[in-house]
Copies of this chain bind each other. A is one copy, B any other.
Amino acid sequence: MGSTPRGPRPTLTRNARPATFTVDAHDETGALVPTPIAGEHPLTLYVDKREIVTLMTLGAAPEALAIGFLRNQRLVGSIDEIAAVQVDWDVNAVAVTTHHGLADLEARTKKRTATTGCGQGTVFGDLMADIESIHLDEAMRVDEETLFGLLNAVRVHESIYKQAGAVHGCALALGSEILTFVEDVGRHNAVDAIAGWMWLEGVDGRDKIFYTTGRLTSEMVIKAAQMGIPVLVSRSGLTKMGHEVAQQVGLTMIGRAVNRHYLLFTGAHRLVKSGERAHA
């Protein structure tokens, strides 16, 4: 939906926060251990001066996060609606300005679904609304060796997690090549930031793989599907509703993926053994 921008890019700040901070801790031997920990900052999102929500974020990509949140919550239909995104950490706020205002904003922000995850997520509107309008690319294929290559690329990628833990990482990939990699204290923020990046860069999801360290819950699957991405890979497990939604939208869901191991749950036709015919 609206993935190729037709107008000028929005005016953006580029206001990332430091990713880690060091605090003192004592370990079990009594030794003083300076420990890097992940940053976490409140960021209140305003659209045309109207307060929408406050997100708690690592702050690595706040502009993309704001755009992606609006995209994935279906409050904005295309990047062309957005005139400016301005982050100001002095007031912990990001102000999004649209060209023509958002129709029905009040009604659309009314129904609050707190979705799965470490926090209680919020997906405005009906979680499953419009799901039947999602069509993922059926012809897209991923070679198994390409999958392993991507898992390795993720493994070696420099990351905050390796230093400080307490963050989730998501990557958008074309084959085994990582196009963008975002970490946040909230996995859903990382997904949203990638959705925002895709809109800003005019990147379509149809031939991409989405990797996450986080669990494949219903919200994760719905977001990936809304982003047009047919293949979703996680190092972790999945939930029953995530599985059901993946089946319903025809998404390829691969869990417990690490090194050369994985479990393929749905959409088996897209994963191809190198040199052999497709699974199932």
**Also in contact, A37 and B115, with CB within 8 A (given A27-B261, A56-B217):** no
**Also in contact, A37 and B243, with CB within 8 A (given A116-B118, A215-B118, A218-B56):** yes
| Chain B CB within 8 A of A240 CB | yes
Chain A binding surface SS class: mixed
| Chain B CB within 8 A of A165 CB | yes
With A120-B186, A165-B236, A185-B239 known, 18 other A-B pairs at CB within 8 A are A26-B279, A28-B144, A37-B243, A53-B113, A55-B114, A56-B116, A56-B217, A57-B116, A112-B112, A114-B121, A115-B120, A116-B185, A117-B118, A119-B120, A119-B217, A119-B219, A121-B121, A166-B236
User: Most chain-B Cβ atoms within 10 A of its Cβ — which of A116, A265, A273?
Assistant: A116
A237 touches which one: B166, B218, B241, B265 (CB < 8 A)? Answer: B166
What are 18 A-to-B residue pairs whose CB atoms are below 8 Å? A23-B240, A24-B265, A25-B255, A27-B264, A28-B260, A28-B261, A35-B265, A39-B240, A40-B239, A41-B241, A53-B112, A56-B113, A115-B120, A115-B186, A116-B118, A117-B185, A120-B186, A166-B215
CB neighbours (8 Å) of A23 from chain B are: 240, 243, 265
Q: How far is the CB of A224 from chain B (nearest CB, A)?
A: 14
| Chain B CB within 8 A of A268 CB | yes
A42 touches which one: B113, B165, B263, B273 (CB < 8 A)? Answer: B113
Q: How far is the CA of A265 from the CA of B166 in the complex (A)?
A: 15
| Chain B CB within 8 A of A196 CB | no
CB neighbours (8 Å) of A127 from chain B are: 42, 54
Restricting to A17-56, which residues have a CB under 8 Å from any CB of B? Answer: 21, 23-28, 30, 33, 35, 37-42, 51-56
Restricting to A91-118, which residues have a CB under 8 Å from any CB of B? Answer: 111-118
Query: Is the beta-carbon distance between B239 and A37 smaller than 8 angstroms?
Result: yes
CB neighbours (8 Å) of A279 from chain B are: 26, 30
A27 touches which one: B24, B53, B236, B262 (CB < 8 A)? Answer: B262
Q: How far is the CB of A235 from chain B (nearest CB, A)?
A: 10
Chain A residues within 8 Å of B, Cβ to Cβ: 21, 23-28, 30, 33, 35, 37-42, 51-57, 69, 111-122, 127, 144, 164-166, 168, 185-189, 214-219, 236-243, 255-256, 260-265, 268, 273, 279-280
Q: How far is the CA of A164 from the CA of B117 in the complex (A)?
A: 15
Query: Is the beta-carbon distance between A113 and B186 smaller than 8 angstroms?
Result: no
